[in-house]
Structure 1
Amino acid sequence: MPTFMKAIGEIWRCANLYRMKAYEPLNINSFQDTYLLQICKNPGITQDQLSKRIYVHKSNVARQVASLEEKGLVYRLNHQDDKRILQVYPTKKALDLIPLITKMNQQWNQLLMDELSFDDQQKFLEILSFLASKAKETVEHLEEKE
C-alpha cells in the first residue's frame, strides 16, 4: 500500500510556502497563523494548553509566542493563582489580522479543492478528519505513558 504521508508532507510544505509569501505584508510567518487563530479564539490560553491544542512541543510554543509578543500581536500575563503559568492574550493588532488569515486559508483550500466535486470534497474531508482523529488519539496515548 502506498504511503499517504509523502503526499501530506508535500501539501504541507507547499502550503507553508504559499502562506509565507501571503503573510509577508502581515509580518508573520507561516507557523504563526495557527498560534494567532488559537490565541484569538481562546484569550488567556496558557502556553501549555496551546502546546496541547496544536500538537507542538512546549519549547516551540514559547519561542513563537515570544516572537508574536515582540511584534506586538500578543501579550503574556502570569496566572493569578500560579505565577509560574503564563496566559497569552491577543492584542487588537492580532484580532485585526484574523479575517486576513482566515481569507488566505480559505483561498488556499479553494485552490486545492475547486476541481473536485462537492461529494469528493466531502468524502476527502471525512477521511482526513478520521485520520487526524486517529493521529491525535495515538499521540495522546503516547503522552499518557510518559
Structure 2
Amino acid sequence: MRLKKISPAKMLMYDKEASNRKQEIDRQHHTIPNQRKQRPKDKHCGNICWQKIYLRAHAYLCIIRSAWRYISMQLLKWLSITDRFYKIYLDKQLAPYGINNSQYMFLIKICRSPGILQDSLMDMFYVHPSNIVRTVAALEKQGMITRSPNDKDKRTCKLYPTERALSIIDKIQMICEKTEALLLQGMSESEQNLFMDFLIQAGRNITSELHIERKGEEFND
C-alpha cells in the first residue's frame, strides 16, 4: 500500500489543528487556565434578579404616584383659580345693574318663577339657608323683589320680581351666557359637553361625600 505524500504546508496546518484541539481538551479538563475568564455564578442570582425587578417596579410606581399627585394638585389649583376670577369678572359685568355674583342666580329664578316660595330655594341651590335669607333680604332692599305672605304656610313667603328686575333680567341673562362662553372658549362642542358632564359629576361627588342633597337643580326648568 502506497502512502500519500503530504506537503510541508499541510503538515504545518495539521500540527496547528492538533495543537488547538489539545488546548481545547486541556481546558475542558482544567489542566490550563482559560484565556477568557468566565463570570462566576452566584447561587443567589435568582434572588438578586427579583430584587432588581422589584426595585425597578417600585421606582416606576413612585413616579406614577408623583405624577398623579401633581395632576390632583393641578385640578384643585385651577378649580380655585377659575372660581375666583370668574366671580371677579362677573361682578364687574353685573355692577351697573346693582347686583353681584352671589345674587344673580336667585334673581333669575325669581323672575322665571314669580310667586316662588322662599323655602323652595333651599331645595334648589347648594347654598346654606342663612345665605339664602341674606340674599333675599338684600334683593328686596335693592328694589329687585317683593315678599308677600303665604296663605297656606305662614312660616314662609312668596317672592315676586319688581318692574326694575324684569327690565334688566334679559341683560343679566346675556352676561351669564357671555361668561359661560368665555369659560368654554377654545373647546369644541363635544369637548364642551364632556366638560359639563365631568364638572357636574365632580360636583355631585363632593356633595354626596358631604351628604348634601337637593330636590332639584338650579336651572332645570
> What TM-score range do you get, normalising by the shorter chain?
0.7 to 0.9
Structure (1/2) with the larger helix percentage: 1
The answer for unaligned runs of 5 or more in structure 2 is 1-67, 215-221
Secondary structure (helix, strand or coil) at the match of 1:89 reads strand
Name the residue aligned to 2:201.
130
CA RMSD of aligned residues (A): 1.9
Q: Distance in 1 between matches of 2:151 and 2:197?
A: 41
* Cα offset, 1:130, TM superposition: 2.5
Matched, 1:77 2:148: yes
* Cα offset, 1:106, TM superposition: 1.3
* Cα offset, 1:53, TM superposition: 0.8
TM-score, scaled relative to structure 1: 0.85
Larger-gyration structure (1/2): 2
TM-score, scaled relative to structure 2: 0.58
The number of residues matched between the two structures is: 141
Q: Distance in 1 between matches of 2:84 and 2:148?
A: 34
Which of 68, 89, 94 matches 1:23?
94
- Which structure 1 residue ranges, 4+ long, deviate > 6 Å from structure 2? none
Matches within 5 A, 1:60-75: 60-75=131-146
Name the residue aligned to 2:162.
91
* Cα offset, 1:60, TM superposition: 1.1
The answer for unaligned runs of 5 or more in structure 1 is 142-146
Secondary structure (helix, strand or coil) at the match of 1:75 reads strand
Name the residue aligned to 2:177.
106
Identity of aligned residues (%): 33
Secondary structure (helix, strand or coil) at the match of 2:122 reads helix
Compared with structure 1, are the counterparts of its residues 80 and 106 closer, same or farther at alpha carbon in structure 2 (3 Å cutoff)?
A: same
Compared with structure 1, are the counterparts of its residues 5 and 43 closer, same or farther at alpha carbon in structure 2 (3 Å cutoff)?
A: farther
Q: Is the 8 A contact 1:47 1:58 kept in 2?
A: no
